[in-house]
Amino acid sequence: MPPVHAPPYARVILEHLHGGDEGLNQLFGRHIHWGWWADGQQADGTLTDFEAAADRMCHQLFEAAALREGMHVLDAGCGFGGTLATLDARYRDVSLTGLNIDARQLERARQQVRASPGNAVTFVEGDACAMPFPDASFDVVLAVECIFHFPDRQRFFEEARRVLRPGGRLVVSDFVPRRPLVPALAAQDVLFGAYQRRVSGYVDIRCPLPRYRALAQRTGFLSLAERDITANTLPTYGVVRRMMTPRFGAQAALSLAGLMTLELVTRLDLLRYMILSFSRR
């Protein structure tokens, strides 16, 4: 299995946030994920617009999870806790747990996210593929734009099944390749993976839909929905490219190349941004 580390871009983001970078705070100070626009044509390219779109992405995931008051929710790979903060603001009587491999991100999450009255929020350091939680302790497990960093998708699904109660839901947002892209991604990894990992850390976006379906079946989940929201996320690329590239300093070209490749294969419809939901059998 690949080593389990926090992705290097998280360190870059944290350094800038600690330095008082207001623009980056609007981009990735709360959520570190793509935005969602009902109509991409309406996006205006501003950071305020992006912030609202990143919040709306959370609501798409909550809908897929059929979230209700009173639920126990685990956010695996929780970043700075923005998804749980959004959830806390909308639902009452919920118990929220954020799990992250990175102690520094968790420090910020603990400072930023306070539970509303009647709710509880806890942040825990650990690997999503070896979760430090008892069996059947959650109604919902979320993995928002992070499963591609986990060292082993199957191990994560097994762990999610273990910590979910029967009938509980697993909701994942991921970059899902069309089958023909998979060998090209493998080749790209052989050629440029070592360089790309300096910016993005370990990334595996080589799980097409049939593989997800087989994985769910194997690990005791029922596939509930596969929602392609690519078109709703496209305005993200311009904003992230503009904001992140200069902040990578010596690695700016690497960061730009990675983002442009991702955008290109997405616009060619070889890679889709999807929300996948599963029910624990």
Ligand X SMILES: C[S@@+](CC[C@H](N)C(=O)[O-])C[C@H]1O[C@@H](n2cnc3c(N)ncnc32)[C@H](O)[C@@H]1O
Nearer to ligand X, 63 or 213 (CB): 63
By CB under 6 A, residue 6 contacts ligand X = yes
The stretch among 112-120, 144-152, 180-188, 211-219 that binds ligand X (CB under 6 A) is 144-152
* Spatial distance between the Cα atoms of 265 and 234, rounded to a whole number of angstroms: 12
SS3 75: strand
By CB under 6 A, residue 102 contacts ligand X = yes
From 150, 212, 221, 278, residue interacting with ligand X (rule: CB under 6 A): 150
# of chain residues touching ligand X (CB under 6 A): 26
Report, in Å, the least distance between residue 183 CB and ligand X.
Answer: 25
Nearest residue by C-beta to ligand X? 79
**Per-residue b or e along 4-22, where b marks 16 or more CB atoms closer than 10 Å to that residue's CB:** bebbbbbebbbebbeeebe
By CB under 6 A, residue 144 contacts ligand X = yes
Report, in Å, the least distance between residue 180 CB and ligand X.
Answer: 26
* Spatial distance between the Cα atoms of 42 and 232, rounded to a whole number of angstroms: 10
* Spatial distance between the Cα atoms of 35 and 86, rounded to a whole number of angstroms: 14
Axis-axis angle for helices 8-18, 181-200 (nearest 10): 40
For the sheet with 95-100, list strands across it: 120-125, 95-100, 72-76, 138-144, 164-177, 271-280, 221-228
Residues 187-246 that bind ligand X (CB under 6 A): none
Residues engaged in binding ligand X (CB under 6 A): 4, 6-7, 10, 31-33, 76-79, 82-83, 99-102, 105, 127-129, 144-146, 149-150
